[in-house]
């Protein structure tokens, strides 16, 4: 154990993701096993600025491993975007004796992490974002749970789609990254996938459905990322006018994608990343993020993480189409 870090602060920030609590637990337990103390920061960077802290001993994180959301709460913080807010946050940390920070969140949160690291605060970031749009990790915390939530919903829609001979347009999260939509396309057997990375024309979608109908498919599912170049409502209108064999219905999955008890994969990933982040801090590392690379959890410089934006793997996009044959 480093002689520098005796007390670790932990924050969940940005949009919540299932598995955040599993990570908080792992940080508290791993720190305790190393003789370090953990202080939970409530309400994200807002709580860092206002000093909204609570001690998290090994017993305090019992029974949170399986809970969705985040027990530390999370808020988006306007104040922390400005030097004044950042200065106050650092003061509060010093006053509370926090020697280093674990910051769990998405790209905005990891930008904030780098800002603090640059100011000399030892900081390790942990990627959590159901969109899987964070550079430097194969999977962010929350993605696997969101993926299974989407799949369960589409499995339900398939019951009604196949009973009525319908097309369902299913909109998933993913403003800039089509990961969830592409993967959902494969695991749900969608006829077609629409993602920000691959613009398509209305005519291509109509033609794909027409062809499915002619090939004898009795219903169809189209998975659309929120950020696809075609808007769900527009496509719905066109499909209704063109009458492509199937009636059309729309479902926007929305915020249910964020909730739920984390899957085994997410609890495991969160536990490993939490453990690794404590190891890294105690070992003197800073300005890095824990990233899943193959089977291993590696440390990736936050500058590298923040400089890129991850997008969907187009190989899977092709695979989704082939398997929908």
User: Catalytic one among 131, 144, 266, 287?
Assistant: 131
Instruction: Write each residue from 287 to 316 as x if it is in contact with a second copy (CB under 8 A), else as -, in one continuous string.
Output: ------xxx---------------------
Around Cβ 172, how many Cβ atoms within 10 Å?
31
Among 6, 7, 58, 245, binds a second copy (CB under 8 A): 58
Contact set for a second copy, span 94-113 (CB under 8 A): none
Residue 266 annotated among the catalytic residues of the structure:
no
Look-up: residue for tokens 């749970």? 145
Contact set for a second copy, span 131-190 (CB under 8 A): 138, 144, 147-151, 153, 155-160, 162-165, 168, 183-184, 186-189
Around Cβ 243, how many Cβ atoms within 10 Å?
9
Contact set for a second copy, span 12-31 (CB under 8 A): 12, 16, 18, 22, 25-26, 29-30
State which residue, 67 or 118, has the beta carbon closest to a second copy: 67
Bridge partners for 221 per DSSP: 168
Instruction: Write each residue from 194 to 233 as x if it is in contact with a second copy (CB under 8 A), else as -, in one continuous string.
Output: ---------------------xxx----------------
State which residue, 111 or 162, has the beta carbon closest to a second copy: 162
State which residue, 31 or 98, has the beta carbon closest to a second copy: 31
Smallest separation (angstroms) from a second copy to the CB of 94: 27
Among 70, 109, 137, 306, binds a second copy (CB under 8 A): 70
Tokens of 38: 């953990």
Instruction: Give 111-127 as a DSSP string.
Output: HHHHHHHHTT--EEEEE
Rounded CA gap, 221 and 186, in Å?
Answer: 11
Q: How many residues comprise the chain?
A: 325
Look-up: residue for tokens 């791993």? 30
Among 1, 4, 54, 62, binds a second copy (CB under 8 A): 62
Rounded CA gap, 302 and 306, in Å?
Answer: 6
Rounded CA gap, 185 and 154, in Å?
Answer: 10
Among 32, 79, 96, 198, binds a second copy (CB under 8 A): 32
Bridge partners for 54 per DSSP: 40
Contact set for a second copy, span 228-257 (CB under 8 A): 249-252, 254-256
101 CA to centre of own chain: 20
Among 13, 263, 286, 290, binds a second copy (CB under 8 A): 263
In eight-state DSSP terms, residue 258 is G
State which residue, 120 or 295, has the beta carbon closest to a second copy: 295
If one asks whether residue 79 binds a second copy (CB under 8 A), the answer comes out as: no
**Nearest Cα to Cα of residue 97 among 49, 45, 42, 38:** 38
Q: What is the side-by-side strand order in the sheet with 166-172? A: 192-194, 220-225, 166-172, 247-252
Q: Which residues are catalytic?
A: 131
């Amino acid at each position: 154990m480093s002689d520098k870090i005796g007390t670790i602060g932990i924050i969940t920030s940005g949009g919540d993701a299932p598995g955040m609590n599993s990570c908080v637990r792992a940080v508290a337990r791993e720190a305790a096993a190393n003789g370090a103390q953990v202080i939970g920061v409530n309400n994200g960077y807002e709580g860092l600025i206002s000093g909204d802290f609570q001690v998290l001993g090994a017993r305090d994180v019992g029974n949170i491993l399986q809970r969705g959301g985040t027990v530390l709460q999370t808020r988006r913080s306007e104040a922390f975007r400005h030097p004044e807010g950042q200065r106050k946050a650092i003061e509060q940390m010093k006053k509370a004796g926090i020697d280093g920070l674990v910051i769990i969140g998405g790209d905005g949160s990891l930008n904030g992490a780098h800002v603090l690291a640059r100011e000399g605060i030892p900081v390790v970031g942990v990627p959590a974002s159901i969109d899987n749009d964070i550079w430097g990790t194969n999977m962010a915390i929350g993605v696997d749970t969101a993926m299974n939530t989407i799949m369960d919903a589409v499995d339900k829609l398939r019951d009604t789609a196949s009973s009525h001979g319908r097309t369902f347009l299913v909109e998933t999260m993913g403003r800039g990254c089509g990961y969830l939509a592409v993967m959902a396309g494969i695991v749900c057997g969608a006829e077609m996938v629409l993602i920000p990375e691959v613009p398509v024309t209305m005519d291509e979608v109509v033609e794909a459905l027409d062809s499915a109908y002619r090939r004898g498919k009795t219903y169809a599912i189209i998975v659309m990322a929120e950020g696809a170049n075609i808007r769900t409502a527009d496509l719905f209108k066109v499909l209704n006018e063109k009458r492509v064999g199937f009636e059309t219905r729309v479902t926007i999955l929305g915020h249910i994608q964020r909730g739920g008890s984390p899957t085994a994969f997410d609890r495991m990933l969160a536990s490993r990343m939490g453990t690794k982040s404590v190891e890294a801090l105690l070992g003197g590392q800073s300005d890095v993020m824990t990233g899943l690379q193959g089977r291993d959890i590696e440390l990736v410089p936050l500058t590298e993480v923040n400089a890129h934006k991850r997008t969907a793997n187009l190989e899977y996009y092709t695979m989704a189409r082939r398997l929908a044959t």
